[in-house]
Structure 1
Amino acid sequence: MNDKLNFIDERQKRRYEKVLQKTEEEYLQEIAILKSREDFLEEYEYFLQLLASPFSARKLQMRVEKPLAGLFCIQAPFEIFDAFDLHPVKLCGGSHTVQRLAASYLPVLMCPMLKSFMGNFDLQQESFADYRAVILPTTCDWVVKLPEIMQQDTENVHYLELPHLKETEKSQSRWLEEIFCLKELLEKITGKKLKPKQLQESINKVMNIWIIMDELTKLKRSGQLSGVWYTAITNTFMLDNLEVWSGQVNRTIEKLHRQQKQENSSRIFVAGSPIIFPNLKLLQLIEQAGMSITADDICSSERIMPGGIIYNDTSEYGMLRAIAERYHKACVCPTFADNSRRVNNIISKAKEYNIKGVIFNLLKGCHPYDIEAITIERKLKEHGLKFIKIETDYGKEDSQNILTRLEAFKQTL
């Protein structure tokens, strides 16, 4: 523990120490559960080491030896930050225990992922000053109000104003303008001008990572990689130097290719709110109920990267335009009004991979997904797909109830 922490009184200090201890135990317990699985491989040890303790910006900066850019959404293009020699990292949280530190000043029904992040922020005694830049895309009202709630200095905070339409020329132009504003901000913060050659190298680097992740996804489709392990691996993206991380993923893929396929007739699709370690509860319960997670559209899992950037024009404008189009048009976040692509994607995957049902993960307080679940359920049932919505938070008290519902759901497939 940091001996330099300032506490108001001895009671606050004891509370902090108790939460710290319980949070570390929560992480280690989940690591132990993963290590005890029959499908554990030595190659997974690297990823578990990255997940084994609560996130710390200072520790990550020492690990990657670069200044950090904190991102609150995958809508912020990784390539641009890398081109400025900044290490992007998604700011989120999956711990139930650590929420206690922030619970006193937060709404009860606030998004658990952000409550967990804010609790860990207090636990690590960090601030936005630990990041060279903090980027907040306006995909969620909770995220928009976050600096205000946290009473953080907004000097290095930048809002990416996301147009909530994708298909109109006006919205596409507006998003391109936002990407150029981001570029100008990073030039000001870093004191460097964006070089087209550096941007092209960063695009190619992230493109290679996307190709690797696509191979990992194919192994999940075939049954050689469980949905739990897939999510654990993708949760470590950006928690290490990108070249080191992708190298280990490659080694894991090579090992998995030599494993026997585990075919499961109860194939399902998982949609909805983000799933962040150590909160793998729903995925573990799905497998316990006898179903196989063949595909998902979770933004912390398969949707963590929108795909490769395609461009012919290697000028700064040409590449930034290609980046803007890919991150905007390919995204299926529920914040968009014209989002039929999300439902079409689920239906397409279901037909291609013989998926019988959709399990919709809804975190309490996650309003965009709660609203979207209504439309998705109606349209999927029209196409003969079974649907169940599981509304939960990070606590495990409802695990038995959820398991009972999932077992009943499996019988309908």
Structure 2
Amino acid sequence: MPKDDRVRLANNFIGDSSSTLSPIYDQLYANIPIPMMRFSDQQFPKGTLLFPSREAIQGYLLTYAQEVMSLIKFGVQVTQLEPLCEGTRTTWALEAKSAHDNQTIRDTYDAVVVATGHYSVPFFPDVENIKEFMEAYPSVISHSRDYRSPTSFKDKKTIVVGNGASGTDIALQINRVSHRKTMISVRSPTPQPRLAYMACEEVPEIERFFVDQRGIQFKDGTIETEIDAVIFCTGFLYDYPFLRDLNKKLITTGGGVHGLYKHIFCIDHPTLVFPALNLKTAPWPLSEAQAAVFSAVWSNNIQLPSKNTMLEWAKKLDEDEGEHLHIFRTSSSDGLYINNLYDWVMRSYHKGKEPPFWNDVSFWQKHIFPQAKLKFEKDGYKATSLEELGFHYEEDWKTRV
């Protein structure tokens, strides 16, 4: 460890939505309610919107980080991290560069938490002629990462690709100001209540681009020409270029991180962990539960299973999920995973901070939050509780699902 024996965090906090590195746009609201999204040991301020704005989220995180703020090195980019193996012991040689004076920083660590997020490298599907189209019209195609506000689209013929949380939200925002009906290109239908509220035109997947007439052909054979903007809301790729050779082993197509146990531990080097990789979940409680696990393992309070057992777990995940390794497929999957981590941590020899645990109310909240978000928007983005929107927990809710 470094001489001061402290935990060091190297990261750039992006609070300005104008940064091209941030997927945070101006009119962004959370898509999960605050009872589900918060850390277990800090409430949101009284009066916070049920689905908080980006400003409220930033304020919450800054408050939560106060106790460790002195340990954070701002304006530092990690450029290389490599394992140093001596017998059964692995340490980590870290190299970073300061944005302030361009100095190189080198140090060695016993363990590393890679908490860089996974919303930096945009994914574009391999659509026929997309490369030629982008070369001919470099300003037409963009990604949700680069979206900031709908105003620049008001006079444009726009297609939004993807109907996940960002796709439907961005399409809604643009359609509200656009002089034309915004099209949303999808693989599977948008839930009817959401589509009706958006008032967008749903169209099939894009089959190919045409450089002539700035055209697009959809998979049903229909063609649109004179397209002004195509925004791909198609997600992001996992990538850790600072891991160099190890990155090539962990990352294949970018759809997930291979060779991990329980979505956390690098099996070949268990002192390297990757929290909060999963999608379709509440990332803060997830990362809190995962942090409790690797803290307990690294302090020798719980043990990892054998390497063969961990490899079998990772192999089954690869077989079941293919390249998209970290998606929770059902509304209860993340809660069951968090509770599994809770049970593991609670077997510790010496109990540390208790991780989050999902009770029946938590599973109910996860089940109803898409309807709650829609009602929150319809009611003017002002509700501060589920009850205000007419959602009340009842013990027999599962019988009505």
- Give TM-score, length-normalised by structure 2: 0.28
Greater fraction helix: 1
- Higher Cα radius of gyration: 2
Structure with more of its chain in strand, by fraction = 2
